[in-house]
Amino acid sequence: MKTHFRLIVVACCVALTGCAVGPKYETPAAANPAQFKEAEGWVPAAPADALERGPWWTLFGDATLDELAQRIDVNNQNVAAAVASYAQARAVVAEQRAALFPVVSLGASGTRSGGGESRAANNYRVNIGGSWEPDIWGRLGAGVTGAQASAQASAAELASARLSAQGELVANYIGLRQTDAQLALLNTTVEGYQRVLQITQNRFNAGVTARSDLLQAQTQLANTQAEQLSLVRQRALYEHAIAILLGQAPAEFSLPAAPWTLAVPDVPVGVPSALLQRRPDIAAAERRVAIANEQIGIARAAYFPSLSLSASYGYGASQTAGLFNASNNLWSLGVSAAQAIFDAGAISARVEQTRAARDVAIAQYRQTVLNAFADVEDQLAATRALAQQQELRRAASEAADQVEQQMINRYRAGQVNYTEVVNAQVTALSARRALVQVQADRQTTAVALIQALGGGWHAAQ
């Protein structure tokens, strides 16, 4: 028995002094420019993906939007699925960690056997036993580390799902409010066209103008009213999309028309590019590299023997009355080891597979970083261009309005034909709608920039 105990002690010492065979993990190098091309004065990026992102949608100054966005975490089903996936990943970590500890079991059995002329015999047993696989080569530890990295990747994917749902909600809300503004614009335009139609009708009745002018006025009014109906349909689609994002059936949700808040948050010149590292897709990609790195250690551990320890203690007897007597006790201690001697290179092939998988993850991580930088650059360039376009669109709209009014006045005075009035009205309406569109584009670009930065730039450190 002493020999058995010596073996157990030696094995435990070996286990405690075991070493991991996997490669040490280092975050892969990736593109990290000193500043963004489209925004001067930004400092070099640094990891900051754990920073609180905050309710970034409040930057748009719309109380209704604030209320809707706060319901995303509670009701959005994509976010709910990501939350469940994160909980699943955390449970996997607990399962992997449990493999580091011994398994203890309690057993009891009773049998009665006999045959032929032999008397039937009873056999009762009660025992407690345990088994343990020491993590000599770090295989189980690598599994735990990999599961932790997987849980962290799942947390990043949860943040990505939440940010995506929030961004989609805000973009749809802006689209709906833009449609409301377009409808209000067309309603005013239709009223103006109706007045011009009445003027044309009166002039036609008086024999001052041709019937073609009356038909043109009627055509223009009918086309504009048809555009109104198209906008009503578009508004309904936005409303339905918002309902789905909030986890509601479209029939149970409605959003009445309201004034459009035109606030467009400005990006401060000194915004650090550190916020780019807060993007959840970058964090998830980096964690997938860590997972792949741990898989190499798990595969390498197969080169070395596996060791298993077992022990049990119990009692056995033919009668229950004397089952727990000292003379009926039973015990066992065991050590087992196994090592593959020949596998035709299967282990080496699996190690090479894991190395290649890590290289794939590294390349995907670096591509994710490049795409993220390009995304920010795109939105910064669009932000600057749209701000300039808005001023030009406003000037064009004001000029077109003046031309339209002048043409109507001259038509009343009989100085121009009706075709020139129609052209002026079409140009004025187009300029007004283009101004509304660029205002909406500025807001949706701000949303895209906030998402590209990982959720905003005003959160507390």
> With helix as H, strand as E and coil as C, how does 25-54 read?
CCCCCCCCCCCECCECCCCCCCCCCCCCCC
Q: How many CA atoms lie within 13 A of 35 on its CB side?
A: 10
Give the pLDDT confidence score for residue 53 in this predicted structure.
57
Distances (CA, A) of 172 to 30, 93, 176, 241: 34, 38, 6, 7
Task: Look at residue 13 in the predicted model and tell me its pLDDT.
Answer: 45
Residue-by-residue pLDDT tens, the chain, 461 positions: 444 444 444 444 444 444 566 788 888 887 777 677 776 644 444 444 544 556 888 888 899 999 999 998 878 888 888 888 888 888 878 878 887 788 888 888 888 777 666 677 778 788 888 888 787 777 778 788 888 888 888 888 888 888 889 999 999 999 999 999 999 999 999 998 898 899 889 989 988 888 988 999 999 999 999 999 999 999 999 999 999 999 999 999 999 999 898 888 876 544 555 656 678 888 889 899 999 998 898 888 888 888 888 888 888 777 777 777 767 788 888 888 888 888 888 888 989 999 999 999 999 999 998 898 888 889 888 998 999 999 999 999 999 999 999 998 998 888 888 888 889 999 999 999 999 999 999 999 999 988 888 876 543 33
DSSP codes of every residue in 239-262: HHHHHHHTT--GGG------PPP-
pLDDT, residue 419, reads 85
In three-state form (DSSP H/G/I as H, E/B as E, the rest C), the secondary structure along 416-437 is CCHHHHHHHHHHHHHHHHHHHH
Contact between 285 and 364 under an 8 Å Cβ cutoff? The reply is yes
| pLDDT of the residue at 319 | 74
Chain-centroid distance of CA 157 in Å reads: 5
Q: How far apart are CA 79 and CA 247, in angstroms?
A: 10
Say which amino acid occupies 347.
Answer: I
**So what's the pLDDT on residue 150?**
85
User: Is the distance from CB of 258 to CB of 64 less than 8 angstroms?
Assistant: yes
**Tokens of residue 230, six digits:** 């198209």
The predicted structure's pLDDT at residue 340: 83
pLDDT at residue 394, as a whole number: 96
Joined together, the tokens standing for residue 226 give 């048809």
How far is Cα 404 from Cα 402, in angstroms, rounded to an integer?
5
Which of 203, 216, 188 lies closest to 412 in space, CA to CA?
203
